Amino acid sequence: MSLLPDRAALTALAYQLGPSRYYQPAYRFIAADVGTERGSFLDVGTGTGWLAIHVASGRREVDAVGIDTSEAMLRYAEANKRDRLNVTFRKMDATNIIYPERTFESAAAVQSAHHWGDPAAIFAEVYRVLVEGGRFYVYEADPEAEVPADWIVRKAGLPTDAFVRGQWAKFGMDAGRWAQLRAVAEASPFGPDIEDERHGFYRRLVCTK
């Protein structure tokens, strides 16, 4: 038996120590963009949990649920939420969301869509668990975008813009993949009236039920 940490654990640790810290302003801006003031919110591919945490923070009438398939990421999410009672994290595949129909007022996926093996199934599942009029926000960093100074925390000039863009190129979507994702969204129960806009350095889809 190997005593070395597995790849999932190393990936989660790297995210917790890096992007989980320097993307804090971005998480706050996205939480404000989603704008959930009451009811339930679903974070699809929550990672270390910060979007769900910021959506629920200071809002007693919001219950935020973050789902992810990575146990390693979810362990950090649990630690990051501290004593917040209105944030819950669960191991769950977004192609099979174990919640009833019309559970959530809103949902979001930040930097997780590039991992989706079956995006059509995920759009269909999120549609199912949203209330009528609920919105699903999908954000993916644009490798060609500028890096707004107030969206990232830097210490001694780090991370540099070049490093951040390199990460977006490696772990994000180029224009072609983004167009494919939009086409899947338009063919889903949400479509065809999908908003495709920019928010900071992200491309953003807004899908309304």
pLDDT in tens, 59-87: 999 999 999 999 999 999 999 999 999 99
Residue 17: pLDDT band (50, 70, 90) is confident
Does the pTM surpass 0.85? The reply is yes
CB atoms within 10 A of CB 51: 29
Dist CA 189 CA 198 (whole Å): 23
Q: Is 64 helix (H, G, I), strand (E, B) or coil?
A: strand
DSSP 23: T
pLDDT in tens, 136-148: 999 999 998 888 8
pLDDT in tens, 86-145: 999 999 999 999 999 999 999 999 999 999 999 999 999 999 999 999 999 999 999 988
At residue 4, the pLDDT reads 47
Mean pLDDT value across the chain: 93
At residue 43, the pLDDT reads 98
At residue 2, the pLDDT reads 46
At residue 5, the pLDDT reads 58
Which distant-in-sequence residues (6+ apart) come within 8 Å of 72 by Cβ? 8, 9, 11, 12, 13
Which distant-in-sequence residues (6+ apart) come within 8 Å of 191 by Cβ? 185, 207
For residue 1, pLDDT over 80 is answered with no
Half-sphere exposure of 107 (CA within 13 A, CB side): 30
Instruction: For tokens 């995006």, name the residue.
Output: 119
Task: Specify which residues 84 forms β-bridges with.
Answer: none
pLDDT in tens, 157-193: 889 988 988 888 888 899 999 999 999 999 999 999 9
Dist CA 143 CA 125 (whole Å): 28
At residue 192, the pLDDT reads 93
At residue 148, the pLDDT reads 85
Enumerate domains of the chain plus CATH numbers.
7-208 (3.40.50.150)
Answer for the pair 34, 11: CB distance below 8 angstroms, yes or no: no
Q: Tell me which of 7-21, 145-159, 176-190 is least confident.
A: 7-21
At residue 144, the pLDDT reads 87
pLDDT in tens, 33-59: 999 999 999 999 999 999 999 999 999
